[in-house]
Structure 1
């Protein structure tokens, strides 16, 4: 489900790209330090964005280290990475999310790799549930409520997307402090976008496999593509509106690059692929 909150690399300044890579690689190394290789495979861009957001919002409040290291995937050149409590928190939330996403993959597709991942990190997630009871309950309840809604054939797109939004909002709300409501709102609308984007990308596959997808009833509408874009655009507009209310200075251009351009990269790629498929179908008639 996750992986849509990415940068628009061509539009980033070189220094901003290096900073983003430093945080992304920093999250990777934090996952390795805390959870080993099993943690590293859970790495995703969405939690990198959350870490960047927290680093900007809480700038100067917590210690932040920087260092160079040599990555096995890129051994010829040392990588510059960041290490701080923001990345520790992002790594912990990444593991909790990954456990329940793996559980979902196991239930839906009986993927052995998903079952293996669950068994590998289950004990670590159990410990995290005691450290972050609010966030853990948010993810666990989200999975339960989403499964129940899908079993019942829920057709309300806003309600379904809101489940993902509520869950992600709780994760973005790290400290439950003065910024809690704003952070929850950013996470809420971003989560709604992610849910709908995931449904849009998986639509054809879900139809073929007979899986639940809330967009199936809308697919035959003449203005289907325009409707999907309008909903996604509205969600990101609301997300950006709450994001701009936060008192951010550090790395704000990177964060804006992601929210105003990066999140649309996958959408454009998926829509382009759908258009090509339709062209092939038309030519075969």
Structure 2
């Protein structure tokens, strides 16, 4: 369930693309500093969005660092990056999420790759949990609840997607302060969107494999695609409305690009492939 909260690069100015890249590289830099090469492997667009959001909201509360240097992944030319206090939090949370994703693959499919990745991240995950016990506990609790619903074949979309939404709400609630309500709404709505979009995308494959998918019964209804579009629109409208209540100034254009356009890209591409020609 990674890679849905992406920027719309084509709608960005060159300057905006550069600023997004520096935030992406800043998260990568801090993930490597905290967790070595294993940390770089957990880099995602989703946590880059959270990094941008929290760094903008809490701008000035921690020192902002901007540096230039060489990158082992892109060694040809110097790379610019920037980060602030929330970046380390996002790097830790990203690693914990990848660890439990690998654990899920191992427990569900006995995937050797999942087992190897899980072992690679295990000690680093323990370090992240020591720094952020509440957030990491929310990951384990949310995923356990989700697994129980899936094992029961639950098709109540609010319940099953709400498990992942609740998990994301906890992760977005960085400081549990006056902005908790808005941050939790953004995280909850985006979390439900990610879960349902992933299920929508996997539906045909899950049918062929006989695997669980909460949309199986709903997909038999004649207006299924319209219903899904309406659900997605409602969830993202809720996230956008909560975002507009936050006093974000720095990188507000990048955040708006992602929330209003980028987050729709994968749905639009995959939906166009479903349309009759």
TM-score, scaled to structure 2 = 0.96
Q: Distance in 2 between matches of 1:59 and 1:129?
A: 25
**How big is the shift at 1:210?**
1.6
> Contact (CA 8 Å) 2:172, 2:183: kept in 1 or not?
yes
Output aligned runs, 1:159-178, within 5 Å: 159-178=159-178
Q: Distance in 2 between matches of 1:257 and 1:52?
A: 12
- State the Cα RMSD in Å: 1.3
Task: Identify the residue that residue 5 of structure 2 maps to in structure 1.
Answer: 5
**1:138 correspondence with 2:162:** no
> Contact (CA 8 Å) 2:7, 2:257: kept in 1 or not?
yes
Q: Distance in 2 between matches of 1:83 and 1:51?
A: 8
**1:24 correspondence with 2:34:** no
Query: For each residue in 1:77-110, what CA deviation from the matched residue of structure 2 results, as whole angstroms up to 9, or x when unmatched?
Result: 2211013222111001001111111111222332
Output aligned runs, 1:45-124, within 5 Å: 45-124=45-124
Task: Identify the residue that residue 179 of structure 1 maps to in structure 2.
Answer: 179
**How big is the shift at 1:11?**
0.7
**1:43 correspondence with 2:73:** no
> Contact (CA 8 Å) 2:166, 2:188: kept in 1 or not?
yes
> Contact (CA 8 Å) 1:165, 1:187: kept in 2 or not?
yes
Q: Distance in 2 between matches of 1:174 and 1:157?
A: 27
Output aligned runs, 1:258-273, within 5 Å: 258-273=258-273
> Contact (CA 8 Å) 2:167, 2:188: kept in 1 or not?
yes
Query: For each residue in 1:48-87, what CA deviation from the matched residue of structure 2 results, as whole angstroms up to 9, or x when unmatched?
Result: 0000001110111101111112223333322110132221
Task: Identify the residue that residue 283 of structure 1 maps to in structure 2.
Answer: none
Secondary structure of 1:164's partner?
Answer: helix
- Greater mean deviation of Cα atoms: 116-125 or 145-154: 116-125
For structure 1, the residue ranges without an aligned partner over 5 or more in a row are 280-285
Task: Identify the residue that residue 152 of structure 2 maps to in structure 1.
Answer: 152
Q: Distance in 2 between matches of 1:125 and 1:246?
A: 31
Q: Distance in 1 between matches of 2:248 and 2:265?
A: 24
Q: Aligned pair count?
A: 277
**How big is the shift at 1:158?**
1.3
Q: Distance in 1 between matches of 2:78 and 2:208?
A: 45
- Greater mean deviation of Cα atoms: 90-99 or 206-215: 206-215
> Contact (CA 8 Å) 1:38, 1:117: kept in 2 or not?
no
> Contact (CA 8 Å) 2:199, 2:213: kept in 1 or not?
yes
> Contact (CA 8 Å) 2:55, 2:85: kept in 1 or not?
no
Q: Distance in 2 between matches of 1:268 and 1:209?
A: 25
Task: Identify the residue that residue 282 of structure 1 maps to in structure 2.
Answer: none
**How big is the shift at 1:217?**
0.9
Output aligned runs, 1:242-261, within 5 Å: 242-261=242-261
TM-score, scaled to structure 1 = 0.94
